[in-house]
Amino acid sequence: MTLTTYTDTSSDSIAKFNRQMIVILDFGSQYSELIARRIRETQVYSEVISYRTTAAKLATLNPKGIILSGGPNSVYDKRAPHCDPEIWNLGIPILGVCYGMQLMVQQLGGEVKYAQLAEYGKASLLINDSRNLLTHLEEGTTMWMSHGDSVTKMPPGFELLAHTYNTPCAAIANHEKKLYGTQFHPEVVHSIEGQTLIQNFVYHICKCKPTWTTEVFIEEVIREIRAKVGDKRVLLALSGGVDSSTLAFLLHQAIGDQLTCMFIDQGFMRKYEPENLVKIFHESFHISVEYVNARDRFLAKLKGVTDPEQKRKLIGHEFITVFEEESKRLGPFDYLAQGTLYPDVIESADTNVDPKTGERVAVKIKSHHNVGGLPKDLRFKLVEPLRKLFKDEVRNVGRSIGLPEEIVRRHPFPGPGLAIRILGEVTNKRLKILRDADFVVRDEIQQQGMYHNFWQAFAVLLPIRSVGVMGDQRTYAYPIVLRFVSSEDGMTADWFRVPYGLLESISNRIVNEVKGVNRVVYDITSKPPGTIEWE
């Protein structure tokens, strides 16, 4: 498994916001980001950094606590990742989770071996010592296990906190040194009282206070923007999604008319969205938006194209071309604002550093299209005020600064838009059919008060036609696929068990109101094995 790429911990990303901070050392776990989110839910700041970070570097960050994540390796493997053993001497409370606990045991003189009885899934936690870490947890509470190795001998000074039927050492502690370990994953939703355990670690063991709030973030980030930008101009590629819209509001509060928002209409947005977006920003919030109508040129680029990857690349390349032309027309600009979020910082290495200034410079417009990069000779300094936030935190910021709820809770929408919800060639006729069908879907779920029940709910147009009958006439028309899913983060998703009445209403309206459609079907595939989008 490839380990995560990290932001530079010496940068300003760990600066003003961590008067109190919990650091997560990542050993390649799929849940490292989730641990950080759970810490943030306690209103304490957290960051994920590399397991290679030295104890000396950690000391300069001055965290209130350290969490060692899980990971795919066995600690006794020759190439298993190990942390700097000096961290045990920092005097900072440490919690090891799964692999992190096993590494703690191994480095402090205990033993970890291949388990005779592995444990995967839900397990009942049998508590031996409810002090500190396990305070207020109920006997027999369900925790999520995922391990093939087990601790067979605890290090000197450690005591047993809990066990399960298959795992003799499910939780351990050295109370004196404030070192704790859990074989289970308290951060996952399947661990019923996992968040209680995390709160025990954060509040009672690390003595943190809940100071990481939306209000504090907004105050400090506005000061940060003003200090960085000064009197210079900033360009933002606006998409209408929650990230770029929240960013626009924040920047406008910070620097007013020094901000220029550019909205490139590539012709693949949903019905009425471009008009509503410009109207909301212009009329309701007095934020100027430069509207660029590029529908014809984008559609021309896709003529005859059926391969989904080629579609994405062509749309991305054309977006960059239009962006470059328009930024030169409207400029000059010193800064480019991007809606980079914290998961992007953790997972992406798509950044360059200007050798002269040390500033990060843009190679990708992540806030708009997630496709392709800007030309290297089109150089801006970056303003990324949201790069410390997870998606749910961005929504909270949006609400706090007055972003309309229709934008704050808008379903995720792909950068290439409807172009990748039309399988096969994209034409004006197919766009109109899908746009009208998609409008029916959104209108019905809003009317029935179910819009926020779904992670995403949308229509897909298939490039085939089937026989139908309307009145006394035979029809030969397109099918529409309905795709409704539930998800927490889009990484996995399950198809939604939609009430039959809603499906019936949507189907009736589509075949009656959308010319060119005579059949509606429902996609019941989860992710994996399918993806949420069809292309």
Q: Which residues are catalytic?
A: 98, 185, 187
Beta strands (DSSP E) in 104-178 are 111-124, 126-127, 142-153, 159-163, 171-174
Half-sphere exposure of 367 (CA within 13 A, CB side): 32
Q: ∠ at Cα 335 (334, 336), nearest 5°?
A: 135
Three-class DSSP labels, 36-60 = HHHHHHCCCEEEEEECCCCHHHHHH
Tokens 């960050």 correspond to 61
In the block, residue with structure tokens 């779920």:
445
- In single-letter form, the type of residue at position 75 comes to V
β-partners of residue 382 are: 336
φ/ψ region of 17 (left if φ > 0, alpha if ψ in -120 to 50, else beta) reads alpha
The bridge status of strand 171-174 relative to strand 159-163 is antiparallel
Q: How far apart are CA 370 and CA 364, in angstroms?
A: 7
Contacts of 325 (CB under 8 A, 6+ apart): none
- Give the list of residues 6+ apart from residue 200 with CB closer than 8 angstroms, or none: 132, 133, 134, 135, 136
Is the omega angle on the peptide bond into residue 332 within 30 degrees of 0, that is, cis? yes
Q: CA-to-CA distance for 426 and 314, rounded, in angstroms?
A: 12
* Residue indicated by tokens 């983060």: 489
Cα–Cα dist 303/318, whole Å: 13
Q: Is 364 helix (H, G, I), strand (E, B) or coil?
A: coil
- What 3-state DSSP class applies to 160? strand
Paired strand residues for 8? none
**Which residue type, as a one-letter code, is found at position 228?**
K
Contact assessment for residue 480 and residue 532, using Cβ atoms and an 8 Å cutoff: no
